[in-house]
Amino acid sequence: MDSVLLDTNVLLDFYETPRPEHSTSAALLEALAVHGVVICAAATSLKDLYYIVARRLDEPSARRAAESVMATMVVLPVDAECCRQALASTEPDFEDAIIRAAAETARVDFIISRDAKAFVGSRVPRLSPADALAELRHR
C-alpha cells in the first residue's frame, strides 16, 4: 500500500472527535503516516469537510481541519474531466463517483471508506478503515 484516497466520511470521522468512528480513523491516519503511505483527499471532500465541521462545531475548527488536510495530504483536483468521468461511471451517487474518478485518475492503491455499497465497480478497490488499519498492522 503506497497511496490511498480517504473518502469524506473518513475525514469527518477523524476531524469530528465526538463521532463513534473517530478512534479508528485516528489510528488509521497515524498508521498511514508511520508506514509512509501517501494520503490523498479529493478537493470536493475538503469543501464538504469544511462545511460540515463549521456547521457542527464552529468556523475556526473547520478552518483548522482544512488547513490540516492541506498540510498533510495530497489534495487531488476535481476538474471538468474528473466530473465527466464521474458522470460516465456506474456509481449511483455523484459524490462517490467523483471520489472514484479522482482515485482512478491518481492511480492510488485503495479508496478508504466506510460506505460498503460504494466503489463496487471501481478499478481502485475499497477498504474499510478497520480493514486498512489491520492490513497496515500486519506489515
pLDDT at residue 36 above 80?
yes
CB 90 within 8 A of CB 121: yes
pLDDT at residue 32 above 80?
yes
> What's the pLDDT tens digit per position in 77-136?
999 999 999 999 999 999 999 999 999 999 999 999 999 999 999 999 999 999 999 999
Which pTM value belongs to this model?
Answer: 0.95
AA letter at 37: V
CATH number for the domain spanning 64: value is 3.40.50.1010
Distance CA 100, CA 114 (A): 14
pLDDT at residue 139 above 80?
no
CB 41 within 8 A of CB 75: yes
| Total structural domains within the chain | 1
Burial 42-70 (b: 16+ CB within 10 A, else e): bbbbbebbbebbbeebeeebbeebbeebe
Domain that holds residue 120: 3-137
